[in-house]
Every structure is written in structure tokens, then in C-alpha cells.
Structure 1
Amino acid sequence: MTTPVIELRGVSRRYDDGPPALDDVSLTVRPGEAVAILGPSGSGKSTLLNLVAGLDRPDTGTVTVDGVRVDGLGEAGSALYRRSKIGMVFQFFNLLDDLTVADNVILPARLSGTARGEAARRAAELLELLGIDRHARAYPGRLSGGERQRVAVARALMNRPPLLLADEPTGALDAAAGQDVSGLLTRLNAEGQTIVVVTHDLALARACTRRTVRIADGRIAEDVRPHVAAPEATR
């Protein structure tokens, strides 16, 4: 059986004396899946994202991503994990305004020790793939919201991560740009990229994922997988 990209087992996380943000959550995501994590504010979906990203640790349970026990990593190990195993796309892009588009995309590879020439070639490939190569020398502030999110996706894919995490990736975009980014995520998944989208937007989930996981009060309330029709009987 294929090794999961994400495997959470009995994960719980509590902050202060309040109710648990996550309460005994188990979740498996296989390679090539596109999964939407749905839920209102306070449901626990952001906590789940932070645990998978290695930005937080569970109180109980285990978090494994592409064979790495994320919950057991120290600070240096977590940073290396994020550079090599995941790409992250945020609602507000998180681009560096004083770097060009190309240099924003190259940055993760340089932090990982990739030679500049090799990193520049990879960045050029990604910018062309995502249709924004003409903006390579521009600064992010000159681009539209949709274009900046494409740059953010290119940056997230720079180190060829097995997992792409998208946190409300269309939340700061108008409807047209949101549909553009949604279509991009759909295309990337069709090409084999494993994607997890954390959102409260059901329309986005329906547009670019085929499996939806609803979280309520820190627990998985529903896990809807694509329906596969049974093969017809041979006559």
C-alpha cells in the first residue's frame, strides 16, 4: 500500500484552560489527493494546519508527513522539514516586497543550499508554467492579487515538496482572481501534486478538491470521499 503523505493518529491539542482545539483526531491523506479541510473560525482547522506544518506540536498523538515524525522535531529539524517536505500558500501571499518576483521564488531553494544557477532555472520553469514569467523582474507590489498568489504558489513548489498546503488561498482575492487560483490548484493536482486546502469557502472546496473533511469543535465531523462507481457486471 502507498505510504501516506499525511498521517495523524489520535492528535489532541489544548491551549490554556479552554476546550481542546483538536480532540483525538486521526486523518490520512494519500499521495495525489486534493483535500479540503472545512470549518468555521474556531473549529480547529488552523490548529490542524499548524501541526502538519510543524509550527505547533500536539499534546498527544503523532503527526507524520512523508515518513517524517513532525511532532518529534526540534526547532532546526522543523525548519529543515518545512523547506524540504511542504510548500505553503497563504491568504495574504507573504511575499517579500523588496525582492523581485524571481528572487521571491528562488529564496526557498537558496535557503536549502541549492546553487543559484540551478535555482534560477527552476524558478524560470515555474514562472513559465504558471503564466507569470513576464513578471520575473517586477516587484510584487506591481502585480494584481491573483498574480501575487501565482508567485506564492511558484515559491511553494520551488523545492518540489510532496505536500502543498494552502491556507485560505483565495480569501484576499476578488471572484475572478479566486477562480483563477482555484483552477491552478486543480491543474496542479491533476499533474500529481498532493494538496490540502484549509478554508471556510465551500465553493472553493468543491472547485479544486475531491475530498472534504469537516471539522467542528476540534473533531472530524464528516469525511466525504469521491464516489467511485462499482464496475458493471460482465454479461
Structure 2
Amino acid sequence: MTLPVIELREVSRRYDDGPPALHEASLTVRPGEAVAVLGPSGSGKSTLLNLIAGLDRPDTGTVTVDGVRVDALGEAAAALHRRSRIGMVFQFFNLLDDLTVTDNVVLPARLAGMARGAADRRAAELLENLGVDRHARAYPGRLSGGERQRVAVARALMNRPALLLADEPTGALDTAAGQDVSRLLAGLHAEGQTIVVVTHDLALARSCTNRTIRIADGRITEDVRPPAVTPGAVR
């Protein structure tokens, strides 16, 4: 059986003396799944994302991503694992305004040691596939919100990650741009990319994922998977 891309076992995280931000959460995500994590503000969505990304560590339990126990890694090793195996897309893009679109996209590959020529070719391929190649030499500030999010997705895919994490990827976009990004994520899922989308937007979840997890008060309260597809069925 194929190993999971994500496996959380009885994971809890508490900050200060408040209630647990995440309480005994267990979750398995297989290769090729597209999972939406839904819940209100303060429910534990961001804590879950940060633990998967290795940006935070659990108080108890284990977090394994692409076969690596990220909860057991030091900061440098966690950053290296994140850079090489996890692509991240944020609500506010997190692009560097003083770098061109191409330089933003190649940055993760250059940090990972990829030669500049190979990195440039990979970036050009991604920008063309995502429909923003005409902006390769522009600076992010000259792009629309939807275009900047496409550049951010290209950057996230630069190192061919096992996992793409998207944190409210349409939260800063207007309706049309948000639908554009939703179609983009759906296309990546159709190509086999494993995706976890943290969002409060049910429409986004329905349009680009095939599994929905709900979190409330730090607990996973619902995990809805698609119905099984019988052999020969049309998807």
C-alpha cells in the first residue's frame, strides 16, 4: 500500500494556559487526495496547518509528512524538509516586491541548490502552464491579485513538492479571481497533486477538493470522503 503523504497520530497543541488549540487530532492523507479543512476562526485550522508544515511542534503525538517525522526535526532540518517537499500558498501571496516574477518563482529552487539555468527553465514552464508567463520580467506590484496568487502557486510547485498547502488562498481575492484560483487548484488535483486547503469558504472546498474535514474547538468533528468509485465508472 502506498504510504500516506500526511499522518497525524493523537496530536495536541496548547498555547499558554488556554484550552488546547488542537486536541488529540488524528489524520491520514493519501497521495493524490485534495482535502479541505473547514472551521470558524479559532477552531484550530491554522494550528493544524502549521504542525503539518513543521512551523510548529505538537505537545503530544506525532506528525509525519512524506515519510519524515517533522515533529522530531530541528528548525534547520524542518526548513529544509519544508523547502524540498512542501509547497505553501498564503492568503496574501508573500511575494518579494523587489524581485521579478521569475526571481520569486526560482527562489525555492535556488535555495535548494538547483542550478540557475535549470531553475529558470522550470520557472518558465510553470509560469506558462499557469498562464502568467507574459509577466515573467514584471514585479509583483504590477500584477492583479489573481495573477499574484498564480505566481505564488508557481513558486510553491517549483521543487515538485509531495504536498501543496494552501492557507485561505482566495481570501484576499475578488470573486472572479477567487474562482480562477479555485479552478487552478482543481486542475492540479486532477493532475495528481496532493493538496490540503485551509479555508472558511465552502464553495472553494466543494470546487477543488474531494474530501472535507471540519474542526471545532481544536477537535476534528467530521471527515467526509467521496463515495467509492466502482471499476469502470466515469469520474
TM-score if structure 2 supplies the norm length? Answer: 0.97
Deviations 1:5-43 (A, max 9, x none): 000000000011111001000000000000000000010
| SS at 1:212 equivalent | strand
Alignment of 1:12-31 (within 5 A): 12-31=12-31
| Aligned ranges 1:1-40 → 2 under 5 Å | 1-40=1-40
Instruction: Report matched runs for 1:130-169 at 5 Å.
Output: 130-169=130-169
- SS for the counterpart of 1:173 is coil
- Once the two structures are superposed, residues 165-192 of structure 1 have per-residue CA deviations (whole angstroms, 9 ceiling, x without a partner) of 0000000000000000000000001001
Distance in 1, matches of 2:58 and 2:109, equals 29
Equivalent position SS for 1:49: helix
Match of 2:206 in 1: 206
Residue 229 of structure 1 deviates from its aligned partner by 5.3
How big is the shift at 1:230?
A: 5.5
**Letter of the structure 2 residue corresponding to residue 150 of structure 1:** R
Tell me which amino acid in the other structure corresponds to 1:45. Answer: K
- Give 1:227 deviation, angstroms: 1.2
Q: 2:109 — aligned with what?
A: 109
Q: Name 1:53's counterpart in structure 2.
A: 53
Counterparts of 1:168 and 1:230, CA distance in 2: 33
Equivalent-residue separation in structure 1 for 2:231 and 2:70 (angstroms) = 39
Give the Cα–Cα distance (whole angstroms) in 2 for the partners of residues 229 and 183 of structure 1.
23
Q: Structure 2: which amino acid aligns with 1:88? A: M
| Pairs within 5 Å for 1:67-216 | 67-216=67-216
Aligned mates of 2:229, 2:57 — CA distance in 1: 39
- Structure 1 spans left out of the alignment, 5+ residues: none
Name the CA distance, whole Å, in 2 between partners of 1:64 and 1:230: 30
Amino acid aligned to 2:197: V
- Identity %, equivalent residues: 85
Q: Following the alignment from structure 2 to structure 1, what is the Cα–Cα distance between the partners of residues 2 and 173? A: 36
SS at match of 2:77: helix
AA aligned to 2:159 is: N
Residue of structure 1 in register with 2:220 after alignment? 220
Q: 1:228 deviation in Å? A: 2.1
The one-letter amino acid of 2:169's match is P
Offset at 1:75?
Answer: 1.1
Q: State the shift of 1:198 in Å.
A: 0.3
TM-score, normalised to structure 1, is: 0.97
Q: CA deviation at 1:205?
A: 0.3
**CA RMSD in angstroms, aligned pairs only:** 1.0
1:118–1:229 CA distance, 2 compared to 1 (3 A): closer
Distance of 2:36 and 2:217 partners within structure 1: 17
SS in 2 for 1:228: coil
Aligned residues: 232
* Letter matched to residue 29 of structure 1: V
| Structure 2 CA distance for aligned equivalents of residues 158 and 66 of structure 1 | 17
Which segments of 5 or more consecutive residues in structure 2 lack a partner in the other structure?
none
Paired residue secondary structure (1:161): coil
- For residue 49 of structure 2, what is the amino acid of its counterpart? L
- Once the two structures are TM-superposed, the CA of residue 46 in structure 1 deviates from its matched residue by 0.3
Q: Quote the Cα distance in structure 1 between the aligned partners of 2:83 and 2:97.
A: 21
